[in-house]
Structure 1
Amino acid sequence: MIATSNRRKAIAKSFTPEYFGFTIKPEDILDKRYGEDKSEQMKQIVKLYNIKFEKIYFVDDQVSHLIQTKTLGVKVLLAGWSYATDIQKEEARKQNISIIEKEENFYPMVKNVLN
């Protein structure tokens, strides 16, 4: 499941079997049509998949989105290689939010969590 403020079609191309060994179906991508409020997207995921917030891992490059969803019980990680600034990284540390510093560490981390 992916929640994004981007378009579903653009995101689906990034998540291919070469990275995970499986395909993420387009219907498993909540895109901007579901809104850009990440808390609302997390609530949609809980509702659609009948899971608890604590089972959700959320990676984003905006610390404000992570702080917002962490209060729901979602496990959050900052994508430190992307648009995250040093100020955002410092705020993430203050909020006890883990940072994935390098893009190449993203896919192995996700693969590890999903296996």
Structure 2
Amino acid sequence: MRIDQLLVRLRYAKSRSLAQARIGKGHMRCNGQRITRLDHAIGMGDVITMPLGPSVRVIEILSLPHRRGPPSEAQACYRVLDAGAPIAIADRVDRSFAEGIEGNTPQ
């Protein structure tokens, strides 16, 4: 299934044109690889990483939806792997700084 269709059917975009605009920004990834084409094929088991407001959403595709249905139907097709975590780079910097303060550095 095309990534733009999937975003609409999973209710992450209201229309295919809005989904294509999100994909075109170049911030989405499939299995760690940047998505550069609007017709990128997505299958079951793929992990999608996408910006969602000030955070990042990571989902695993459990099944491919046949239509854009109600939210409960869409949510049954994926599993959230990282529930709205802050941007990963900022989190990593904070942790390394905190480890140095607490004296948890390797000797």
TM-score computed with the length of structure 1 as normaliser: 0.24
Task: Point out the structure with the larger strand share.
Answer: 2
TM-score computed with the length of structure 2 as normaliser: 0.25
Query: Which structure is richer in relative contact order (CA contacts within 8 A, separation 6 or more)?
Result: 2
